Amino acid sequence: MPLLPATRTPDPADAPVLRWGVLGPGEIAGDFVAALQRHTRQRVVAVGSRSAERAAAFAATYAVPNVHVGYEALVADPEVDVVYIATPHSEHTANALLAIAAGKHVLIEKPVAVTADLAGTIFAAAEAAGVFAMEAMWTRFLPQTDVVAQLLEDGALGRLSLATADFAGGPAPRDPSSRLLDPAQGGGALLDLGVYVAWWSQFTLGTPDAVTARGALGPTGVDEQATLLLEAGEAQGIGVVGLRGRTAWRASVVGAAGRVEVDSPYWAASGLTLFGADGAVADRWEDPYGRPFRQGLCYEGAATARAIVEGRTGCPEHPAERAIAVLETLDAARHELGYADPPGWTA
C-alpha cells in the first residue's frame, strides 16, 4: 500500500495578520493567545470580561493592550477584526450573536453551542451578516489530521468499516455547581469532550444514520460517562467519553486495505502509524513541528485568518454543516441517556 503522504498544512506564521479580541479570559483563552503569540503573526489587541480584575490580569499576562469591562464594549472595539469566544459553552450562542450583530467575525470554542438548533442560529446569523463563523475544532487543522484526510480522500485504506476514539479526561470535581456537573452550564462528558469523538467518527466515516448511546448520569442529571455507537452505512464509529477516569486518548480508522492509529493524545499534535491489511506496520509519521498540546491551537487561528482575508464565511475543513451534525449526534445521545435540555436551550 502507498506510504503516508506529506502534510499540506501551511506554516501558521505565514497567515495574514488580523487583530483579535478575546471574549472570556479563561484557561483555554490563555492557551489560545499564547499559541498565537508563539507561532503566528496574529495580533491579540483586546480582551473583554464582565470582571475588570480578570480582564486586567489576562491583559497583563499576555501583553494585550486594550481591556474592556463587558462583552458589549469588546465587540464594539473598532480595532478588533475577529472575536475569539471562550466563555462556557452555555453562553456561546448569546456571545456569538452579540459579536455577529456588531459585524465581527467569530471563532467559537467547541462545542459551538449546546444544541444543534442553537448552532444553526449562530451560523445563520453569520451568513446573513456576511461574517466568518466557525467552531474552534482545532484538531481538524493539525498537520497529522491532514495526513489522515489525504488517506481518506485517496481511498488508501479501502472500504472503511470502523472508527474509534476515546476521550475521558479523568475524575471531575464533585462540586455540583461546577461547569462540568451543572446542567444549566452545559455540564456532562458529552458536551465537554464528546465533540471530539463524535467529530472523529464523522470526519472519517461521514454523518451517522443512527446514534445509540449507553452511559451513566450522575446525581446532577448530566452524563458522567457515555459510549456512542454511530452507524454510517455499513461502517460504525465508537466513541467513549467520561468524567470518572482517564482513558488512553487514542483514535483509529480501519478499512479493508489497512488502518491508521493516531497516538495519544489524538486531539493534539502527536503522531500516527499506518498498518497494512495484514496488520504489519507500513509507515510511521511523527509531528516534527514542536507545537505540542494546546500550542496546536495556532493552526485554527491561522486558518481563520486566511479564510477571513479570502472573503469566506467558513473553512471547508470544518464547515458549519459538520459542526451542526456533530451537535445533532450529541443531542441524540444526551436525550437517549435521559439528559434533558434545561430551560432556555431553544433557538
User: For residues 33 and 246, what is the distance between their CA atoms, to the nearest angstrom?
Assistant: 27
Determine the length of the chain.
347
Do residues 161 and 234 lie in contact, with contact meaning Cβ atoms separated by under 8 Å?
Answer: yes
Q: Give strand ranges (E) for the chain.
A: 19-23, 43-49, 66-69, 82-85, 105-108, 133-135, 160-168, 210-217, 223-232, 235-242, 251-255, 258-262, 271-276, 281-286
DSSP track, 148-165: HHHHHHHTTT-SEEEEEE
The three grid cell numbers given for residue 18, joined into one nine-digit string: 488580523
Query: CA triplet 187, 192, 193: central angle to 5 degrees?
Result: 145
Active site residue 110: yes
**Catalytic: which of 39, 104, 110, 318?**
110
Intra-chain end-to-end CA distance of the chain, in Å: 48
In one-letter notation, the amino acid at residue 302 is A
Catalytic positions, written as ranges: 110
